Amino acid sequence: MGAALLGVVLMVAGMYVSTEVTHGNIKSLEEMGIPLDPGKTIAVIGVFLILFKLINNFYLAPLSEAITTRNSDLESTFTEAESLRSQMDNLKSDYEKRLVQTEADAREKIQAQIKEAQELRKTLMAEASSKADEMVKRAQDEIAAERDRALTGIRIHVANLTMLATEKVLNENIDNDRNRRLIDEFLDKVEVPTA
């Protein structure tokens, strides 16, 4: 405010000096060899001081404020961009960690299922082998029992044939216990080997 007041004072003083020079009260600088009017010069300096204050208030101050605001906005934008980049890096890092963990979990589940399937396979194979062994043993037992029944049947049949043949040869009935025992002892000695 002081510069504008000084400008007004200088402008008024310059006009006064200029009018005095024109009226001849003050010796003109032109007469002294200096082509300069001091009144006009002082008035112009006063006008410049007033204009400088106006230019400063209406142009330079708002421009400076706009530049400061713009710089502040740019710094804020850069800070926000850096913050967003940092958040993005953190999110990317978290995503990669979760992805690695998910892959590890999936691999672990697959390995567990493979192990479970292998154990189930072993169990089923053991059960199948056990059942097959049991069936073979049962079949062998049935075959042995059937063979024993067949041999017993053949023995009885041979004993009966032998007695019939002996009866025919001797023409008498020899169906007593002593004769049967003799025939059984004979058959035991000449028993056919089983293959």
| 101 falls within a domain | no
Q: Which domain holds residue 68?
A: 2-83
Per-residue pLDDT, 35: 61
Per-residue pLDDT, 166: 74
Per-residue pLDDT, 174: 58
Structure tokens at 153: 């049947």
| 139 falls within a domain | no
Closest CA to 165 of 185, 183, 188, 138: 183
| 72 falls within a domain | yes
Residue 120 in this model has a pLDDT that exceeds 60: yes
Which residue is associated with the tokens 């600088």?
29
3-state helix, strand, coil in the chain (%, to 5): 85, 0, 15
Higher pLDDT, 61 or 163: 61
C-alpha to C-alpha distance for 76 and 186, rounded to whole angstroms: 122
Domain boundary among 58, 83, 108: 83
| 88 falls within a domain | no
- The secondary structure of residue 191, as a DSSP letter, is P
Domain boundary among 83, 105, 127: 83
Structure tokens at 46: 């006063």
Higher pLDDT, 195 or 190: 190
Burial tier of 53 (Cβ tally within 10 Å: 0-12, 13-18, 19+)? middle
Per-residue pLDDT, 119: 93
Higher pLDDT, 148 or 37: 148
Per-residue pLDDT, 190: 63
| 149 falls within a domain | yes
Give the Å distances, CA to CA, from 22 to 10, 12, 110, 160, 193. 18, 15, 110, 183, 169
Over residues 70-95, the pLDDT tens digits come to 999 999 999 999 999 999 999 999 99
Mean residue pLDDT across the chain: 79
Residue 152 in this model has a pLDDT that exceeds 80: yes
Residue 43 in this model has a pLDDT that exceeds 80: no
Total tally of structural domains belonging to the chain = 2
Which residue is associated with the tokens 């216990």?
177
Domain boundary among 36, 68, 83: 83
Sign of the Cα pseudo-torsion (81, 82, 87, 93, in order):
positive
Collapsing DSSP to helix, strand or coil, 56 comes out as: helix
Q: What is the pTM of this model?
A: 0.38
Over residues 26-37, the pLDDT tens digits come to 555 556 665 666
